[in-house]
Amino acid sequence: MAGSFDATTALEVLHGTAQALSSRSSEPEVIEVLLERSLAALAGRRACLHLLSPDGLELLPAGECTARKLGRVPGVPVPVAQCPLFAMASRNEVVVVRDPERLQDPLVGSLDDEGPHAVVATLLAARDHRLGMLMVLVDPAVELGSDGKLAFHLLADLAAITLEKTRQQQSLLSIAEAVNSTLEVEPMLERVLEATVQNLWLKAASIRLLDSKRRVLELAAAHGLGPDYRERAGTVVAESPIDRRALTGEPVVVNDVEGSPELPFPPEAVGEGARSILAVAIRHKDRPMGVIRVYSAQRRHFGPVAVRFLTSVADLLGLALENAGLYQAMRDHCRHLELDLADWHRFLALG
Q: What is the DSSP string of 132-189?
A: EEEEEEE-TT---HHHHHHHHHHHHHHHHHHHHHHHHHHHHHHHHHHHHH-S-HHHHH
Question: What's the pLDDT at 123?
Answer: 93
- Contact yes or no for 189/179 (Cβ under 8 A): no
Question: What's the pLDDT at 114?
Answer: 60
Which has the minimum average pLDDT: 11-15, 22-26, 219-223, 336-340? 336-340
Rounded CA-CA distance 94/150 in Å is 8
Question: What's the pLDDT at 2?
Answer: 45
Mention every residue, 6+ apart, whose C-beta is less than 8 A from residue 154.
10, 14
- 320-344 in b/e form (b: 16+ CB < 10 A) is bbeebeeeeeeeeeeeeeeeeeeee
Instruction: Report which listed range, 72-81, 97-106, 107-116, 241-250, is most confident.
Output: 241-250
Q: What is the helix (H) or strand (E) element at residue 330, kind and residue range? A: helix 304-350
231 burial (CB, 10 Å; 0-12 / 13-18 / 19+) is exposed
Rounded CA-CA distance 274/33 in Å is 33
Res 251 pLDDT > 50: yes
Res 308 pLDDT > 60: yes
Residue 296, SS3 per DSSP: strand
Rounded CA-CA distance 208/206 in Å is 7
Region 48-55: mean pLDDT is 88
Question: What's the pLDDT at 176?
Answer: 82
Whose CA is closest to 126, among 40, 21, 274? 21
Q: What is the helix (H) or strand (E) element at residue 329, kind and residue range? A: helix 304-350
Which has the minimum average pLDDT: 38-47, 56-65, 220-229, 255-264? 255-264
115 burial (CB, 10 Å; 0-12 / 13-18 / 19+) is exposed
Backbone dihedral region of 201: left (phi > 0), alpha (psi from -120 to 50 degrees) or beta? left
Rounded CA-CA distance 101/117 in Å is 10
Rounded CA-CA distance 309/286 in Å is 18
Res 335 pLDDT > 80: no
Domains of the chain by range and CATH?
Answer: 7-168 (3.30.450.40), 182-338 (3.30.450.40)
Question: What's the pLDDT at 37?
Answer: 87
Whose CA is closest to 105, among 50, 63, 56? 50
Q: Which long-range contacts (CB under 8 A, 24 or more apart) does 253-256 make?
A: 253/277, 253/278, 253/301, 253/302, 253/307, 254/278, 254/279, 255/299, 255/300, 255/301, 255/302, 256/299
Q: Which residue has the higher pLDDT, 323 or 7?
A: 323
Res 297 pLDDT > 90: no
**55 confidence band (pLDDT: 50, 70, 90):** confident
**347 confidence band (pLDDT: 50, 70, 90):** low
Rounded CA-CA distance 325/273 in Å is 34
- Contact yes or no for 105/84 (Cβ under 8 A): yes
Q: What is the helix (H) or strand (E) element at residue 281, kind and residue range? A: strand 276-284
**59 confidence band (pLDDT: 50, 70, 90):** very high
**49 confidence band (pLDDT: 50, 70, 90):** very high
Res 330 pLDDT > 50: no
Question: What's the pLDDT at 122?
Answer: 93
Question: What's the pLDDT at 19?
Answer: 84
Rounded CA-CA distance 305/250 in Å is 15
Question: What's the pLDDT at 213?
Answer: 86
How large is the C-alpha radius of gyration of the chain? 26
pLDDT tens for 120-163 read 999 998 877 889 999 999 888 878 888 888 888 888 888 988 88
Rounded CA-CA distance 275/255 in Å is 7
**70 confidence band (pLDDT: 50, 70, 90):** low
Which has the minimum average pLDDT: 70-84, 187-201, 304-318? 70-84
Whose CA is closest to 86, among 103, 70, 72, 111? 103
